[in-house]
Amino acid sequence: MNGTLEAVTIFTYVFFTYLILALLIERIVEVLVTIFNYVEMHRQWDGYWNRTAERLSSRYTRLYGYAQDERGKIHSILDGLLWNVISEEPYKGGKKIISAELIRLNYLRLGTRIIAFLIAAALVLSLRLDFVEVVSMMFSNDYLPVELLRMSPVVSFILTTAALSIGAEPLHQVIRGVEKFAEKKRKAPGGQTS
């Protein structure tokens, strides 16, 4: 019983550390986005997104001759991959138009995810964090998928960096899911119960 309490305390401390680092990354990214928004407003870069929307509109009109009633294979691929990301219906049932606001939003989403990943990578390298190692300690016996992940330091690094960069709330859900799965594994026949 004392060993179980000690293990739970250690896991709680380690996961709390990961959550704090994920919160730190979120706040750093929020500050950077705020600075970007200020500079964008101060320098009046709003015309850039409108020019980008016009350029994309003319490109897709020229290349694909996009029309609502013609639905070829190219149109389906374009709809699935890019068109739905940069276009919207101004009203229900209306023809889709390219939106400068959506283009800006998606550029910011991609940029913030890249920045969060890079910050997380710096933290993982500098603090020598290994989320996979912590998760593998939760399993009492050798669980093959976790053991396979532990074999590759590159995969472990990428998973640890991704876990930190996704944010505090998703990381909390991941941790909760791992804890529940580990508990089920321990209580299952063949697993150890402490």
Read off the pLDDT of residues 137-182 as tens digits, 9 standing for 90 and up.
Answer: 776 556 667 677 777 889 889 989 998 998 877 887 877 887 787 7
Q: Alpha-carbon distance 107 to 88, whole Å?
A: 16
Tell me what pLDDT residue 69 has.
47
Share of the chain above pLDDT 70, in %: 77
Q: Could you tell me how far CA 25 lies from the centroid of its own chain? A: 12
Q: What pTM value is reported for the model?
A: 0.74
Average pLDDT, the chain: 79
Q: Is 87 helix (H, G, I), strand (E, B) or coil?
A: strand
* 52: alpha, beta or left? (left if phi > 0; alpha if psi -120 to 50): alpha
Phi-psi region of 21 (alpha: psi -120 to 50; beta: other; left: phi over 0): alpha
The string of pLDDT tens digits covering residues 101-127 is: 888 998 999 999 999 999 999 999 999
Q: Which two tokens stand for residue 28?
A: 């750093």
Q: Which residues of 121-170 form beta strands (DSSP E)?
A: none
Residue 1 in this model has a pLDDT that exceeds 90:
no
